[in-house]
Structure 1
Amino acid sequence: MLAARFQSAFMLALTLMVAACEEQRPESEQPLRPTAHADNGKALSRKRWLDVNETTTPEHWLASREAGVDVAPSAPEVETFRNLLARADRRYTETPRMIANRAVQLEEMLAARGIDEKARLVIEGLTEAGADDEGRGFGETAQHYFNARASGANREEGLRLIQRPEGRTLR
């Protein structure tokens, strides 16, 4: 009887913990691994994550991060990222904001392994490598790509490895 009570209490505590986590961010938007999120008060170019309620557009954030300084929302680089994210949005199930977050996260994960691949190249590569395979997530594809790169594949090999022979990415 004591074991049953302990088990019930444990399950209740676990359920409450999971519910609290889900309120913060939907499961589909959980990071590939824990990272520091929006750095409140820092320059846009130094933010590591765009929160759900962030008013900054993902293309403005990415352009500022790439430049290393905050750029104007009307800067040509912002338009370049807008077009890139629009292409990625047509391929993947996540929003442009989430694609941008995942790309920056992957950039940081690769950098931690000594691999210099900026978010722009990540988005370009995964968008080009991903054929019209509906229902596929950018985050999932990014994880497959990271695993390939972490195992020693170069960029071209990593992009090839995330594709199926018929051009569809792995699920």
Structure 2
Amino acid sequence: MCMILAARLQLAFTLALTLTLAACEEEPESEEALRPAVQANEGRTISQKRWLDLNEPTTPELWLASREAGTDLAPSAPDVEAFRDLLARAERRYTETPRMIANRAVQLEEMLADRGIDENARQVIKGLTEAGADDKGRGFGETAQHYFNARANGASREEGLRLIQRPEGKTLR
């Protein structure tokens, strides 16, 4: 009975993540569709924003560095440059833009935290980028989903990163 319940919960989490990640790529049909997202970030400093909206003027590297620092940083801060480099490496490896990679990394950070797993967005991006293969054609979100499933099922960080790779070094599809 517990095994069936665990399998159903896992399926529900996977479905929720898939739908959420797919929704991140969709363009809203109207300005009306943007309103809830804009309102959720209204009045928040850069470091307090929950995600980067479609038309967000804040760069993903500034957002991630500010979130990690817990305060708004200057665009010239060394941590902002470090995130810029990390996102550039991730963009070369995956199909998404740096903004989408940043949003998905923060989403994964929060999902892991809900499971009691402490792994920040920098660790997520770095780990998934290093574990991924050099070929294009797969998504960061897809890889993040495989990684989350592994971690949610009890795998350590190292095991989770190893499980998202095929023997030839290519990420699972």
Q: TM-score, normalised by structure 2?
A: 0.78
Show structure 2 runs of 5+ residues with no match: 1-20, 27-35
Which structure 2 residues correspond to residues 5-154 of structure 1 after superposition, within 5 A?
A: 27=23, 29=25, 38-154=40-156
- Superposed CA deviations along residues 39-89 of structure 1, whole A, max 9, x for unmatched, are 221111111110110000000000000000111111110000000000000
Q: Which amino acid aligns with 2:56?
A: E
Letter in 2 for 1:162: I
RMSD: 1.7
User: Cα offset for 1:27?
Assistant: 4.9
Distance 2:131 2:121 in 1: 15
Asked if structure 2 preserves the Cα contact closer than 8 Å seen for 1:133 and 1:169, the reply is: no
Distance 2:57 2:119 in 1: 27
Asked whether the 8 Å contact 2:47–2:71 carries over to 1, the reply is yes
Is the contact made by 1:102 and 1:139 (CA closer than 8 Å) also made in structure 2? Answer: yes
Kept in 1: contact 2:24–2:100 (CA 8 A): no
Q: Number of residue pairs matched?
A: 142
Structure 1 unmatched ranges of 5 or more: 1-24, 31-35
Give the AA of the match of 2:165.
Answer: Q
Find runs of 4+ consecutive structure 1 residues off by over 4 angstroms.
25-28
CA shift, 1:90, in A, is 0.2
Offset, 1:26: 7.5
SS at match of 1:142: helix
Identity percentage over the alignment? Answer: 79
Greater helix share, structure number: 2
Q: Give the C-alpha shift of residue 133 in structure 1.
A: 2.7
- Which residue of 1 is the match for residue 32 of structure 2? none
Cα distance in 2, alignment partners of residues 151 and 118 from structure 1: 19
CA distance in 1, matches of 2:137, 2:23: 16
The question of whether the paired residues in 2 share the 8 Å contact of 1:149 and 1:155 is answered with yes
- TM-score, length basis structure 1: 0.79
Give the CA deviation at 1:162. 0.3
